[in-house]
Amino acid sequence: MMKTLPAVARATARSLAACAALAACDTTPVKSALALAKVDPLTTRADALQLAVAVPDTVRLRENRLPMTATLAYRDGRPGSVHRFDLVPVKAGAPGLGDAPGEVTVFALDGAEAQARFTAFQSEVRAAESAGLKGSGALSTDPPLCRTTTDLPPTLPVIVYIKTAELARFVPLNRPLDTLQDARRAGADAAIIDAALPRCT
C-alpha cells in the first residue's frame, strides 16, 4: 500500500504537466528519496502538506488552483476510491526553493474541510492495509498551464516540490522534466499539444 513518497513526473498526450504520484520512480533525485523516507504518507499532517510547482517563463498557471487526486486501487478488482482536491496558493516561507528554476508557486489544501477529507483518505488506506487487502494508494497533480508565447516553446521543464511536517524544506519530487518532449514521444501531434497548452489570455 502507500508507504513511500518519491514522485513520478510524466506527460501524456492530453496533459502537459507534472504528475506527482506517491510511488517510487527513476525520476526522483536520490537526495529527495532519502529525505522522503522520513515521511509516512498515511500519517503525515494534512495541514502541513504543501506542493510547489516550478515552470519556465514561457508558461504560467492558468488557474488560481492546483488540482490533486488521491486514488486507492485494489489488486483483486474490487472498487477503489478517488478523491479530488483543489490546492490553493499560499504566501509562506519557501525553504529549499531558492534555487528552483523559473516561476514557483506554493500550494496547500484549501481549509479545514479539505484537510479533513485528506485525513479520511489516509484512514481509508490504513484500514485497507489493516484488513490485509493488496493494492496501492497514490496522489497525483496536474497543473493547468498556458503558454505566454505565440508558438509552442521548444521545451517545457516542470518540477514539482513537496514539503510536509516531517521535512524542514521543500524537496523536488522529480528532476527537470521536459513535458513537451515526453508528449511527443508518447505520440501527441502538434494539434493535441497546442490544445493542451493554450495561449494565456
Asked if residue 1 is part of any domain, the answer here is no
Max distance between CA atoms of the chain, in angstroms, equals 54
**Dihedral angle sign, alpha carbons of residues 14, 18, 23, 28:** positive
Q: What is the pLDDT along the chain (201 residues), one digit of tens a residue?
A: 443 333 322 222 223 333 333 333 457 788 888 898 888 888 999 999 999 998 888 888 888 899 999 888 888 888 989 999 999 999 866 777 877 778 889 999 999 999 999 999 999 988 988 888 888 878 888 888 899 989 888 888 888 899 999 998 999 988 877 778 777 877 777 888 888 889 998
Contacts of 77 (CB under 8 A, 6+ apart): none
- Answer whether residue 7 is part of any domain: no
C-beta separation of 139 from 145 below 8 A: no
Q: How many other CB atoms sit within 10 Å of the CB of residue 21? A: 22
Measured between alpha carbons, how far is residue 190 from residues 13, 177, 181 in Å?
10, 19, 12
Q: Specify if 173 maps to a domain.
A: yes
12 domain residue, yes or no? no
Model confidence, pTM: 0.80
User: Is residue 164 situated within a structural domain?
Assistant: yes
Q: What residue spans of 81-199 are helical by DSSP H?
A: 111-130, 179-185, 190-196
Q: Is residue 15 part of a domain?
A: no
CA distance 87 to 104: 15
Q: What's the gap between Cα 132 and its chain centre? A: 28
Q: Which three cell numbers stand for residue 146?
A: 498556458
In a domain, 20, yes or no: no
3-state secondary structure of 12: coil
| Total structural domains within the chain | 1
Q: State which residues form the domain around 80.
A: 30-196
18 located within any domain: no
Predicted pLDDT of residue 26:
52
Whole-angstrom Cα distance, residue 87 to residue 110? 6
